[in-house]
Structure 1
Amino acid sequence: MGTQDAVTARDAVLTRDGAGTRGRASGEVLLGLALFGLYSLVAMLPEQVREHAARRRGEMVLGLERALHLDLEPALNGWLAARPVWRVLADYEYATTYVAATLAVLVWLYVRHPERYRTARNAFVTLNVAAIACFALFPVMPPRFLGDLGFVDTVRLGRTWGSWGSPLIEHADRFAAVPSLHMAWTLWAGVELARARAPRPVRALNGAHIAVTAYVIVATANHYVLDAVAAVPLVALSVLTAGRLAARPAAAERVPAQDAFFLAVESAAAPQHAGGVIMLDTSRRALGRLDLVRLIGDRLDRLPRFRQRLADRGRWRRPVWLDHPAVDWSWHVTERTVDGMAGLRAMIAEIQAEPLPRDRPLWRMILVAGAAPGRTTLVFLMHHVVADGVGVVAQAISLMEPAAPGRPGGRGPAAPPRRRVREALAGAVGLAQLAADGGAGAAPRLPSAGTAGRRFGTLRIPLAEPREIARRYGARVSDVVMCAVAGALQRTVRFPAGTPPRECRVAVPLMMRAPGEGMEGNHTTAVMVDLPIGAMPERERLALIARRSRVLRSGTRALAAWFVMRQVGRLMPGPLHARFARAVYGGRFLQGIVSSLPASGERMLLTGVPVTGVYPVVPLAPGAPLAVAALGVDGELCFGICADTGLVDDADALTAGVRDVIRELRDG
């Protein structure tokens, strides 16, 4: 085989299923920053709470080493502390060489061995995430903090610039002894150099570095002997796990991390299906269940999730999408009759509280008669694992006419060129901002029953009204929507005895879907905004929200949150990713969701029947009692409001509050 043929063959292997390709450099930098951010979150845990347990465990490790005759730390530390020159050299070796060596191996693999880079990087990320989990769950005090037992802190004694625990890096986790990441990183570098068949002198140099690192981490009293030993199985398991994942067959489409996120957070009290309430003018032409069945059946080839179900593969592996043998039309498309709009809203609240079964495709359509004279209502529900709010609306629109250019299902306009370096820098800034936001404390709580009980409300107003209000006050329509929600909460919610919260933290979804991307999958991220819900004039509330909502337009937080959702989540093992999702998406950090979806000025038809309105249906986040979405359709702004039964007795009170706030802003 010639050189050119070999290169072509190698490229074919690299691009098959995307498993062996290296990512863009900006994404790799962001991944590294995300790992550091995760470590920093653990380092931010209160030391006072962890200190006693960490000291007790440090003494326990020493006791175990004495029993095994491995307690070399006192002798090595005492010898090094008495020799200033060697002590300073050891401190700087501890502070610098493991980072330099690891970065050198990563860059070398990225440039010279792209076929091995992704698997090696995944192993590196896995060992770091596992180690950080150990630091969080099993803090251990290193020997240098046990001065009463005779250890000398060589970092403090020599004032080593840039080393862990020195003034420059004072924020480092003081109880991250087990396992030794210094040892783990150097061992990982040795494994990857060997697997990539690096030159023998390089491998020999790394072997010497491993030996020196093992001596230095113990002699400087930063680690115990058993810390270094613990790094060996950590690296072995990480390398084996990454290798197994890279070698797995791609027979079925795996659920991406950003979609699996919503499987993890779902519970009996917080079903995660989204959808829309589509109002149809059937005064001239009727629409029956069989019409819908024929329409969907004819377009199943365009709607893969309508004919696929989830297949579970165990706790440690994410589910995959598999074709379902046959669509059970009697369950997926049904008919009901209600008594007016109040009956329709009660029915929607009822089905919002019922999780979709996972043994079949995750969608339902209910054709409802009786909501209004000459009108038929189509309630369309789809699980959040399938698509975000925009994607769910897009799948519904794909059943309608006309199929306008650029709509989901077509290629759409070409995406603009991406500025990778700028995105990487913006993402790095955003990670720091998110860390600061997360450290601001728990969000003030709104009343919540904590059950699956729901209240659902609808409202429609002329779209021209919020647009004119936004123009007059120098705000945006999304600001007007948030102001209306905040004012409605202030007017309608009855807080328990005590001081009611003056603010409510809500998640505002932001679209990250590139032009031309398909309808499936979650392509949104969310940025938190604190809504003022205390008593004040509505124009002042709108001005305050308009200032606070600038975080939505800077882009840095959105890029960082999207990167964590998509890339960091992808590298987490299933159980850790599920725990992460439940930790960050719920009542601890937010109390509601407020979404303003893109408006459409087109008149749409469903089997020839005009669409007169679409009310979005947004699921509640676990422990968060409110979800509001507004969608512009044919000159109208349609609100769908979902509330926990503990927040309001009747959602109509909330919708009336929203209407009153908009009127006050309009007439003010």
Structure 2
Amino acid sequence: MGTQEAVTAREAVATPGVAGGRPRARNELLLGLALFLTYSLVTMLPEQGRQQAARDHGESLYRLERALRLDVEPALNTWLAHQPFWRVLANYEYAITYIASALALLTWLFIRHPERYRTARNAFVMLNLGGLACFALFPVMPPRLMPDLGFVDTVTEGRTWGSWGSPMVEHADRFAAVPSLHMAWTLWVGVELARVNARRWVQWLNTAHILVTLYVILATANHFLLDAVAAVPFVVVSVYIAQRITRPRTARIQGPDAFFLAVETPAAPQQAGGVIMLDTARDDVGRDDLVRVIRERLPGLPRFRQRLVRRGRWRRPVWRDHDEIDWEWHVAERHVDGIAGLRAAVAEIQSERLPLDRPPWRMVVMKGAEPGRTAVVYLMHHVVADGVGIVAQAMYLMEPPPHNLGAAFPRRPLQKALATVVGLGQLAGAVTRPERLPAGGTADRRYGTMHLPLAEVRDVGVRHGARVTDVVLCAAAGALNRVVSEDDGRPDTCRVAVPLMMRPPGSAMVGNHTTAVMVDLPVGKMAEPDRLALIAERSRVLRSGTRAQAAWFVMWQAGRVMPAPLHARFARMSYSGRFLQGTVSSLPGPDRPLRLAGAPLTAVYPIVPLAPGAPLAIAALGVDRELCFGLSVDPGLTGDADAFMDAVRDVIEELRDS
């Protein structure tokens, strides 16, 4: 495929969080340092003035425990004190594991779940500030510092390196028993693991860690049982407040995203996706299996759980978390009658606009298309992402994660600026009205599919000195010649938009980084090799990159400088039948076998939306060793999408045999 339309999606899959949702690591480290300095201020409080109060509070807690018959600490402490090996092990557990588990969780959330990190971090900060306030206002002496009550200080007895009370941390606050931050931190870790739906074995491992920590803080005489109990309300209140005060990260849609929101009409829904074919001859895949997979990957798919919130005419909508996902609607299942029934069902679903009062995506499991095959129709609104971004989000649900969906070709700033200036001049001289294709102008659609060996199509391009994209363009033009007659209104040329991806390296899967360059396809009667040669000549504008860069500059800057209503008018004017009559796309895809819900993937047929007033959209997606075609067509152009696909095949075969 051409270099300009190739795009790096490897980084997109590797970093699936919301773009801009993760805070700066430097700021987080500074916050941690500030929290440690706050603790240091508490430790600097004069001990002489706190010691007696801490002793009185500790004795009061012990008397209360004895009255309630909860004083289990002496028995546990006495046994551990006479077990040198277990005593040292317990001291190290007390000194290390609660810190390690909390830091590991924060790091994991920061990297893998940035959408949850802020709330968790805020709860952790409030938990510690609440504990520090309690240490300062209500000092409590731990049991190990009261040997007259019969407790043995296992820390000093075992001379454990780095543990509380050892010379390395001798300046730690000795009267910080209530609440037990060891218990508070481990409980907080458990809450956050549950909130991000961590794997079950991880949650069970943390549960074991909580129980071990509880035993250790009692057996080492570092805490009373009531100290551990006191940690519970601190955790509950901190998590509750953090959840309420942490404002959801709202992402305002950018200009290129708003572009596709503005051009949508009832007759031209702007949702893209694909028909994913699965081999289910051995193991069936149903709706429940798909829901399970999506639930597991949901934290890495922000737009799957967010909806658009409009803020008035002059302000762009923002993305906000949608609390409840209507799984019955988002993931449905239905039966179809053969391939023809599948294509008719896809056309029907494609004709319906996705509602924007919920996350703008939908999947429908289709049974009955072919023996031993299950189809999954996947649609997502174009406001979420461009074609490659939507493909990348679908691939994120699969195993193994694809490592290449194209390559990035960044330009140097000077080259980029020069290309933009040259491209703007080219665009200014190429603005003409195209000839019209026949169209019905309704939301009704016809949908067709086809696949060919990718190597065969590449070989055709090599033999004729063309690219795969040129072959796809030629196939679309030749099919128009064969299916639409001059009597039906077929023009001599058809202007199509060829989407080109401008996605920067390392960008997330969300957002539109797409521009389009117009190419006039010859659709009159001629030999297909001659048609391909002419198209290859005209499509040089795709390879030069100047028009693509200029079109992207206009699309991006228009969204930045224009007020929202004016930008919407600009979008509707420029992306319509006044300037183009179709869309022809050639997309990179995964180059190895994939599985969805355990079933091997056999094909993915693209679903491309029609531009308003344009009756044709055809896309080719490379999947492993196949080139899969998906056709969306206005029935006013042709009522038989299968015949159009047969014509596409005939054109490529003629090129192959010539």
* TM-score over 0.5 for the pair: yes
Q: Find out whether 1:479 has 2:477 as its counterpart.
A: no
**Which residue number in structure 2 is paired with residue 489 of structure 1?**
480
In structure 2, distance between residues paired with 1:617 and 1:421: 37
TM-fit CA distance, 1:600: 2.7
**Which residue number in structure 1 is paired with residue 617 of structure 2?**
627
* Contact map agreement 1:459 1:655 (CA 8 A) in 2: yes
In structure 1, distance between residues paired with 2:262 and 2:488: 34
TM-fit CA distance, 1:251: 5.6
SS at match of 2:588: strand
TM-fit CA distance, 1:452: 0.4
In structure 2, distance between residues paired with 1:258 and 1:387: 9
* Contact map agreement 2:405 2:589 (CA 8 A) in 1: no
Which of 435, 439, 444 aligns to 2:428? It is 435
**Which residue number in structure 2 is paired with residue 468 of structure 1?**
459
Q: Find out whether 1:592 has 2:582 as its counterpart.
A: yes
**Which residue number in structure 2 is paired with residue 423 of structure 1?**
416
TM-score, normalising length from structure 1?
A: 0.61
**Which residue number in structure 1 is paired with residue 435 of structure 2?**
444
* Contact map agreement 2:528 2:654 (CA 8 A) in 1: yes
Which of 274, 279, 287 aligns to 2:272? It is 274
Change (3 A) 1:300 1:418: same
**Which residue number in structure 2 is paired with residue 561 of structure 1?**
551
TM-fit CA distance, 1:567: 2.1
In structure 1, distance between residues paired with 2:518 and 2:257: 20
In structure 2, distance between residues paired with 1:457 and 1:407: 24
**Which residue number in structure 1 is paired with residue 448 of structure 2?**
457
* Contact map agreement 1:274 1:617 (CA 8 A) in 2: yes
**Superposition CA RMSD, Å:** 1.9
In structure 1, distance between residues paired with 2:249 and 2:604: 38
**Which residue number in structure 2 is paired with residue 314 of structure 1?**
312
In structure 2, distance between residues paired with 1:445 and 1:567: 29
In structure 2, distance between residues paired with 1:355 and 1:502: 33
In structure 1, distance between residues paired with 2:471 and 2:313: 43
In structure 2, distance between residues paired with 1:462 and 1:278: 17
Written as runs of structure 1 = structure 2, the 5 A alignment for 1:119-198 is: none
Identity %: 65
TM-fit CA distance, 1:515: 2.2
In structure 1, distance between residues paired with 2:486 and 2:613: 16
Q: Find out whether 1:651 has 2:644 as its counterpart.
A: no
Deviations 1:276-323 (A, max 9, x none): 100000001111111111111111110000000000111111100010
SS at match of 1:568: helix
Bigger relative contact order (CA 8 A; separation at least 6): 2
Change (3 A) 1:307 1:554: same
**Which residue number in structure 2 is paired with residue 67 of structure 1?**
none
Change (3 A) 1:609 1:250: closer
SS at match of 2:268: coil
* Contact map agreement 1:600 1:634 (CA 8 A) in 2: yes
TM-fit CA distance, 1:530: 0.4
* Contact map agreement 2:399 2:595 (CA 8 A) in 1: yes
In structure 1, distance between residues paired with 2:429 and 2:409: 31
TM-fit CA distance, 1:457: 0.3
Which of 560, 568, 575 aligns to 2:565? It is 575
Letter matched to residue 423 of structure 1: K
Q: Find out whether 1:366 has 2:364 as its counterpart.
A: yes
**Which residue number in structure 2 is paired with residue 129 of structure 1?**
none
TM-fit CA distance, 1:393: 0.8
* Contact map agreement 2:251 2:318 (CA 8 A) in 1: yes
Change (3 A) 1:280 1:322: same
**Which residue number in structure 2 is paired with residue 150 of structure 1?**
none
Change (3 A) 1:505 1:418: closer
Change (3 A) 1:476 1:17: closer
Change (3 A) 1:627 1:429: same
**Which residue number in structure 1 is paired with residue 519 of structure 2?**
529
Change (3 A) 1:320 1:537: same
In structure 1, distance between residues paired with 2:21 and 2:325: 29
TM-fit CA distance, 1:254: 0.3
SS at match of 1:299: helix
**Structure 2: gaps (5+ residues):** 1-19, 23-246
TM-fit CA distance, 1:252: 1.8
* Contact map agreement 1:17 1:250 (CA 8 A) in 2: no
- The count of aligned residue pairs is 415
Deviates more, 1:465-474 or 1:564-573: 564-573
Find the structure with the greater CA-based Rg: 2
TM-fit CA distance, 1:250: 10
In structure 1, distance between residues paired with 2:353 and 2:362: 11
Letter matched to residue 358 of structure 2: R
* Contact map agreement 1:456 1:641 (CA 8 A) in 2: yes
SS at match of 1:544: helix
In structure 2, distance between residues paired with 1:492 and 1:259: 34
Which of 606, 614, 617 aligns to 1:616? It is 606
In structure 1, distance between residues paired with 2:313 and 2:584: 32
Letter matched to residue 373 of structure 2: R
TM-fit CA distance, 1:418: 4.2
In structure 2, distance between residues paired with 1:651 and 1:639: 12
* Contact map agreement 1:506 1:590 (CA 8 A) in 2: yes
**Which residue number in structure 2 is paired with residue 380 of structure 1?**
378
TM-fit CA distance, 1:374: 0.1
Q: Find out whether 1:516 has 2:506 as its counterpart.
A: yes
Letter matched to residue 605 of structure 1: R
In structure 2, distance between residues paired with 1:654 and 1:385: 29
* Contact map agreement 1:446 1:504 (CA 8 A) in 2: yes
* Contact map agreement 2:250 2:319 (CA 8 A) in 1: yes
Deviations 1:308-340 (A, max 9, x none): 000011111110001011100000000010001
In structure 1, distance between residues paired with 2:622 and 2:21: 39
In structure 1, distance between residues paired with 2:411 and 2:471: 31
TM-fit CA distance, 1:551: 0.2
SS at match of 2:533: helix
Deviations 1:411-470 (A, max 9, x none): xx9x777411221111011111111111xx211000000010100000011112211111
SS at match of 1:313: coil
Written as runs of structure 1 = structure 2, the 5 A alignment for 1:239-250 is: none
In structure 2, distance between residues paired with 1:618 and 1:279: 17
Change (3 A) 1:417 1:332: closer
Letter matched to residue 424 of structure 2: L
* Contact map agreement 1:406 1:516 (CA 8 A) in 2: no
* Contact map agreement 2:404 2:590 (CA 8 A) in 1: no
Which of 271, 294, 297 aligns to 1:296? It is 294
In structure 1, distance between residues paired with 2:487 and 2:351: 25
Letter matched to residue 446 of structure 1: L
Letter matched to residue 415 of structure 2: R
* Contact map agreement 1:447 1:495 (CA 8 A) in 2: no
SS at match of 2:577: coil
Change (3 A) 1:468 1:318: same
Deviations 1:319-374 (A, max 9, x none): 00010111000000000100011000000111111000111000000000000000
**Structure 1: gaps (5+ residues):** 1-15, 19-248
In structure 2, distance between residues paired with 1:579 and 1:510: 23
Which of 627, 630, 633 aligns to 1:640? It is 630
